[in-house]
Amino acid sequence: MVEENNNASEIVEAGPVSKWLSENNFQHETLAPDHLGVELIKVEPSELLPLASALYTQGFNCLQCQGGYDLGPGKELVSFYHLIKVDDDVEKPEEVRLKVYVNRDNPKIPSVYWIWKGADWQERETYDMYGIVFEGHPHLKRILMPEDWVGWPLRKDYISPDFYELQDAY
């Protein structure tokens, strides 16, 4: 199976996870592998939970990392999920990375906390720094910045305030 990458007219061959997802009718898009050869899969927010649940049942039992990044002012925000199969019988675990692109004006993605509990603080950090709202997260609030901080510090269009008044300083 060959799918087209959205960066150019480059043809990207689907990896084993993408092929399995296609065989089982999960909507996704194959992206070019990263520099280490890890398979990358683009997922729509509405498809994230069914697809992630299916991957969990297929052995991707560890969310190694969840994070976010900004493609630039006026462009999309991205939430990524690096999944691995933890298996004692395998020397090098199988890996896959999911990417969910959302509009910066209303960045909402379902939380994967109920699949991988390790997403708890990782989704909170991504929320705190980029403003991506993880719907269904049990305790989504700031984790690094003060709760009354205005804005999302790691967005590329963020303007740092000249000062921040600590009201409860000792």
Cα 60 to Cα 11, 82, 97, 98, 111: the distances in Å are 27, 10, 11, 12, 17
- Looking at residue 9, its pLDDT comes to 55
- Looking at residue 7, its pLDDT comes to 52
In this prediction the pTM is: 0.87
- Looking at residue 2, its pLDDT comes to 42
- Looking at residue 165, its pLDDT comes to 61
The answer to whether residues 41 and 71 touch, using CB atoms and an 8 Å cutoff, is no
- Looking at residue 166, its pLDDT comes to 60
pLDDT by 10s per residue, the chain, length 170: 444 445 555 788 888 999 999 999 999 999 999 999 999 999 999 999 999 999 999 999 999 999 999 999 999 999 999 999 988 777 888 999 999 999 999 999 999 999 999 999 999 999 999 999 999 999 999 999 998 889 999 999 998 877 666 655 54
Hey, where are the domains in the chain?
A: 2-135
Query: In the beta sheet, which residues pair with residue 26?
Result: none
Question: 108-110 and 133-135 as β-strands: parallel, antiparallel, unpaired?
Answer: parallel
Which residue is it, tokens 């939430």?
A: 79
Cα 62 to Cα 56, 57, 91, 103, 118: the distances in Å are 8, 11, 16, 27, 8
- Looking at residue 87, its pLDDT comes to 82
Give me the phi and psi of 100, to 5 degrees please. Answer: -120, 120
**Domain topology for 2-135:** Beta Polymerase; domain 2 (3.30.460)
- Looking at residue 41, its pLDDT comes to 97
- Looking at residue 160, its pLDDT comes to 82
